[in-house]
Amino acid sequence: MTPVAYIYTLSDPRTEEVRYVGKAFNLIKRLRTHISAAKKETTRKANWIKSLIKAGLKPEIKELEAIFINEVKAWEDAETFWIESLRFLGCRLTNGTVGGKLGASPSKEVRDKIARWHKGRKRSPEARANMAKAHDDYVFTEAHRKAIAKANTGRIPSAQAYANMRGKKRSEAFKAKMRGRKASPETIAKIRLSLLGRKCSPQHKINVSKGRWKNKSKYNNLQLAFEL
């Protein structure tokens, strides 16, 4: 008989919130492996499991789907589908990849299946709140921050990117969170150091002046001088 793989979830026993999706041949053994491995790891999944253990609890494991492994990439596609679908619904999954072996790219069939499932669906307010909370709770490591800085060094946003940033509206919750916040002396020193020696273009100076001056006639005169 063809072996069966199970796509499963790990959830918080207090709230039944799904936090991880995986694949296993034996669910009981897989749960034991997760708990023992968490003591040696520092991943988001491991940290979540350790927080449960500290509270005297352990994750609940539940079967999502049984896969008969008689086709290539059968369980990989199923795992990817469930990860993408649950994330779309707002589940704060701790998975480090999109599923499959080492997070391999899903097949065209599973991508089409995910696209059909998502088409026309809208995230509920609860799903949006879960996604926002997941971002608020996430803390970037120093190595992650350096990697982001390195990737963005020298990058110039496109005109469309600038337009998107200008048109983006902040939520009232975000505005309330940022209102009154002041940069630390260390942050101010870093900003000052990054701006030393930087020269602004004539157009940039006009844009800055436009933002500072409310008097439209002064701005028009400056614009005229620049064009001449």
The domain spans of the chain are 4-125, 186-228
CATH architecture of 4-125: 3-Layer(aba) Sandwich (3.40)
Q: Which residue carries 């369980």 as its tokens? A: 75
pTM (global) more than 0.85? no
State the pLDDT confidence band at 228, using cuts at 50, 70 and 90.
very low
Q: pLDDT, tens digit, for every residue of 191-222?
A: 888 778 777 778 877 777 776 665 555 555 55
User: In the chain, where does DSSP find H-type helix?
Assistant: 27-38, 44-54, 74-88, 108-118, 125-137, 142-152, 159-167, 172-178, 185-195, 202-212, 216-227
Phi, psi for 10 (deg, rounded to 5) = -110, 130
Q: pLDDT, tens digit, for every residue of 162-201?
A: 777 776 667 777 777 777 788 888 888 888 887 787 777 7
Higher pLDDT, 214 or 11: 11
pLDDT in the model for residue 9: 93
Residue 79 C-beta-side C-alpha neighbours within 13 Å = 27
Answer yes or no: is pLDDT of 66 > 90: no
State the pLDDT confidence band at 107, using cuts at 50, 70 and 90.
low
Using only C-alpha atoms, what is the Rg of the chain? Answer: 25
